[in-house]
Every structure is written in structure tokens, then in C-alpha cells.
Structure 1
Amino acid sequence: MTEIRTPRLLLRRWHDDDLAPMADIDADPRVMRWIDDGSVGELAGCTGLSVPEFLPQVLPAVAISWRFGPQFWGQGYASEAAHATLEFALQDRGLDRVISISQVGDDASENIMRKLGMEWESETAHPVHGRPLRVHAIDLTEFQA
């Protein structure tokens, strides 16, 4: 099982007992608004890689995304986890390119994308909900670990 450690976080595969704490995070409207000295061992949220099949115009692509409980906002956890996951994708898994998708207006997520070195690539709309989306991307040659 692959684990990624940062100075403050442990990124690991999903466990069955993560369901209840993640449900609490997902139930908070502040978290879901933008979604269709360290943690004390509780689940802070999730960060991961996926294929954004809901948006065919960006395929083939692998996207990085994150979602954290509001008690963890503003502390750099999302940036830290996203950077470690991006490094894993580009250096350990051999991907040449990674994208990230946000709703227009989700300035916090776009700030993280900029911190990762991602550049704005395109603007589109969610095919079901019609919400405006922005796609950011980074190539392996642009990534700085």
C-alpha cells in the first residue's frame, strides 16, 4: 500500500472507517459550496487523483482534487497534500501532465493551483449543472518539487 508523508500529513488509501468522518465533511455546506501544528490523527479530508470522465473535452487527463473540513481551512493542509500528490503523480507514477478543475469563483482552490505551478488552460461549463468551470494544468517539465 502506497503512503505519502509530508511534515504534517499522511496521505493513504481510503479505509472503511473513513466513511463517517468524510460524510461529516461532505455534509457541511461550506465545503460543498464548490463541489458537485498539524492534525491530531483525525480525518482532515481527502486529496487524490482521478480521471475526470464527467468532462470529456479534457480527456485523456488525470486530475488532482482536494476537499477538507472547514476546521482545516487556512492552515496550508490542502496545499501541502496537493503538492505531495502532484509530485507523486509526476515523479513516481510517470504522468507527463496533471490538470485540476474548479468552479469559477472558488478562489481558494485556484490559489492552491497557482501554488502548485498550474496555469490556466481553459474555461468550460459543467455538462450537467451548467456551472462555469476553469481548467488548470501543469506539465512534468514545469513542475518544481
Structure 2
Amino acid sequence: MKIARKDKVKFGALVNKFRQKMPRDMNPLRKVAAECDMNFSTLNDIEKGDGFPTEAVVLRLSENLLLSEKDKHGLLDKYSDIAKVAPPDIDRYLIAEDGKAWWDVLRLAEGKDIPPDTFKEIKKIITALEDKKDEPTEQPEY
């Protein structure tokens, strides 16, 4: 995969920005690199734009930089845009047993002119499922 230098620099700056937002005692380059199971020079190269992470590395970064869900998705989406691959978290989900149920749905959707409102409705349905999961279940009275 050939990644343009300017894209490596943009991605590295984003990783650096997120690392610097971490609490001071948790953000040293060596400490974050160790948490992500990599050499500190590898993380340094990524942040300077001299290197670009693999999918496995960017997943570990997204899990160890103490990111909000929005920032985590932003980092993974930026990686996806640059590398021209599906976001690694989506990719990982789709190959897991639970994710395989989506394969036929995605194949059916391919090439169809699906209006944006349809995706909004699908998101509402999934959000409602999440909301129900968080609701306390009624306990039987004895």
C-alpha cells in the first residue's frame, strides 16, 4: 500500500494530537507505545509522518489513546480514507461470527440506489435496540 507523504503527516499529526490530550502522566511516547505493543520509535515515526500504521496497530492506538467514541471513530475513519480500506473496527466486526449476518444485507444493498433517509431509519432501529438493552428488566415480585 503506497501512502502519500502528506497523508502520513496528517494522520501522524492526528495521533500526536490525541496522545497529547491524554493525562500528562499517561501520554509519554514510550508509555503509549508500550501500551500499544510497539516500539517507541515506530510510534514516533507514525507521529512524524515517516511511517503509517497497519490495521492492527491503528486498532491498538484507537483502544489505548483514551479517546471518546467520536474521536475513536474519527481516527479509524481517517485511516480508512487514507488507506482506501474499510475502517478496521468495521472490518474486524464483519469477519467475527456476529458480523457475518450483515454480509447478505450488504450484498443486497450493493448497486441499489438507497435513499439517505433509509439509512437514518436503520440507525433509529439499531439505536432503539441499544436503548432497550440498557433498560432495567422488571424483576418478578415474590
Fold similarity call, TM over 0.5: no
Which of the pair is proportionally richer in helix? 2
Larger Rg: 2
Q: Scaled by the length of structure 1, what TM-score is found?
A: 0.30
